[in-house]
């Protein structure tokens, strides 16, 4: 039994047929059949061929889980041996959630390219759930995203960052700037823009609006939420709130320059709402970080410290 045979077996199960698996592996079908037969001669019957489609037996399911783990460890070993401790020859595939990208992506990317010009860098911006799936599929090495929704997932390692302060902002001259206090209900008179929020934040806003309108008990499913414009591009949200009478929920750090230039104003919400996003650097637990991943995490912490965006460690 070798890793090549295990790779053939995993591919066969994933493809569902010998023909498709042989094509994916660039093997002839007879060669793949011989490989699987040799593996079964050692481990017993792994494939049930009686239904016209390849299905793993009970023993096959056990072997499949172990084989995937072994193949993953092989890939990690090859990567670590290739990288060793030289970041320059490595690759980093990293992601940023929309809030984090608004003030961390630019300085982190600039520092990576300036300090490690030969490092291969692949960055993306997406919501936390999408990046979690990419991480689990090993399409990402590491990402910076909202961490509260991931706290109970034991297969993830979270390096918590200071909580990220957010607020509702409008452009200077917006009608709401004439009010000494602004309620969530007041916001409904205008387009309210933001990113795709975590479920617990959406529930909070729906419940608060429901109670503000005199409702009690659970929020009816048909009751609309607060956000009327959803966009994961924070720069587009910033441009929107500066151009029209919209309200945007964005990080305070992102709006510091606009507020200093009196282009934008943070609304004085009543009752005061502590809008702090819990963020962290997320990797797969039990996996030794590559040198490039360690550098990326260090640069994220460095950028957070320089921007002063966090208020306190996230619980």
- pLDDT tens sequence across 285-305: 998 888 889 999 999 999 998
Q: Is residue 148 scored above 90 in pLDDT? A: no
Residue 33 confidence (pLDDT): 92
Residues 6+ apart with CB under 8 A from 141: 92, 93, 94, 135, 283, 290, 292, 293
pLDDT surpassing 70 at residue 59:
yes
Of the given ranges (182-191, 205-214, 217-226), which has the lowest mean pLDDT? 217-226
Structural Rg of the chain based on CA atoms = 25
Structure tokens at 200: 């617990």
- Are 3-83 and 87-163+278-313 equal in CATH topology? no
> What pLDDT, on a 0 to 100 scale, did the predictor assign at position 195?
87
Share of the chain above pLDDT 90, in %: 54
Task: Report residue 164's pLDDT band, with 50, 70 and 90 as the boundaries.
Answer: confident
190 pLDDT tier (thresholds 50, 70, 90): very high
Decide if 258 contacts 264 (C-beta within 8 A).
Answer: yes
Res 259: pLDDT: 95
What's residue 82's pLDDT?
64
What average pLDDT does the structure give for the chain?
87
User: Is 279 in contact with 163 (CB distance < 8 Å)?
Assistant: yes
Q: In this predicted model, what pLDDT tens digit does every residue of 125-147 receive, in sequence order?
A: 998 999 999 999 999 999 999 88
pLDDT at res. 217: 65
Q: What is the pLDDT of residue 220?
A: 63
Q: Cα–Cα distance between 289 and 215 in angstroms, integer? A: 50
Model pLDDT for residues 217-263, shown as the tens digit of each residue: 666 665 667 889 999 888 899 999 999 999 999 988 889 999 999 99
- What average pLDDT does range 45-56 have in this prediction? 83
> Residue 282 and residue 293: Cα distance in Å, rounded?
11
Residue-level pLDDT at 214: 66
Segment 74-120, tens digit of pLDDT: 888 887 666 555 666 678 999 999 888 988 999 999 999 998 888 88
Query: With bands split at pLDDT 50, 70 and 90, how would you rate the model's confidence at 308?
Result: low
Q: Where are the domains of the chain?
A: 3-83, 87-163+278-313, 164-275
Q: Give the pair of three-digit tokens for residue 221.
A: 């499913």
For 31-41, write each residue's pLDDT tens digit: 999 999 999 99
**Per-residue pLDDT band at 314 (split at 50, 70, 90):** very low
CATH 3.30.70.270 given to domain 164-275: no
Per-residue b/e over 84-99, b at no fewer than 16 CB within 10 Å?
eeebeebebbbbbbbb
Instruction: State the pLDDT at residue 88.
Output: 65
The answer, yes or no, to whether residue 271 has pLDDT greater than 90, is no
Q: How confident is the model at residue 264 (pLDDT cuts 50, 70, 90)?
A: very high
pLDDT, residue 121, reads 94
CATH code at 3-83:
1.10.10.10
Task: Look at domain 87-163+278-313 and name its CATH class.
Answer: alpha beta
């Amino acid at each position: 039994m070798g890793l090549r045979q295990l790779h053939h077996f995993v591919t066969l199960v994933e493809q569902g047929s010998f023909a498709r698996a042989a094509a994916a592996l660039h093997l002839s079908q007879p060669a793949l059949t011989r490989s699987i037969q040799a593996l079964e001669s050692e481990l017993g019957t792994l494939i049930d061929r009686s239904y016209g489609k390849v299905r793993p037996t009970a023993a096959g399911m056990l072997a499949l889980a172990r084989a995937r783990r072994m193949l993953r460890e092989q890939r990690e070993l090859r990567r670590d041996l290739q990288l060793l401790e030289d970041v320059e020859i490595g690759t980093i595939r990293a992601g940023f959630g929309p809030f984090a990208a608004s003030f961390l992506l630019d300085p982190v990317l600039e520092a990576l390219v300036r300090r490690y010009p030969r490092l291969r860098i692949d960055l993306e911006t997406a919501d936390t759930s999408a990046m979690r799936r990419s991480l689990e599929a090993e399409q990402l090495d590491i990402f910076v995203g909202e961490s509260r929704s991931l706290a109970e997932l034991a297969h993830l390692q979270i390096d918590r960052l200071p909580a990220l302060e957010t607020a509702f902002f409008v452009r200077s001259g917006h009608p709401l700037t004439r009010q000494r206090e602004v309620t969530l209900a007041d916001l409904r008179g205008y387009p309210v823009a933001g990113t795709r929020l975590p479920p617990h934040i959406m529930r909070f806003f729906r419940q608060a609006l429901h109670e503000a309108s005199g409702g009690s008990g659970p929020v009816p499913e048909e009751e609309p939420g607060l956000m009327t414009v959803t966009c994961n591009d924070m720069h587009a949200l910033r441009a929107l709130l500066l151009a029209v009478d919209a309200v945007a929920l964005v990080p305070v750090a992102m709006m510091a320059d606009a507020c200093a230039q009196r282009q934008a104003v943070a609304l004085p919400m009543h009752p005061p709402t502590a809008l702090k996003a819990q963020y962290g650097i997320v990797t797969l637990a039990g996996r030794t970080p590559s040198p490039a991943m360690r550098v990326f995490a260090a640069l994220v912490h460095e950028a957070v410290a320089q921007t002063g965006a966090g208020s306190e460690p996230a619980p």
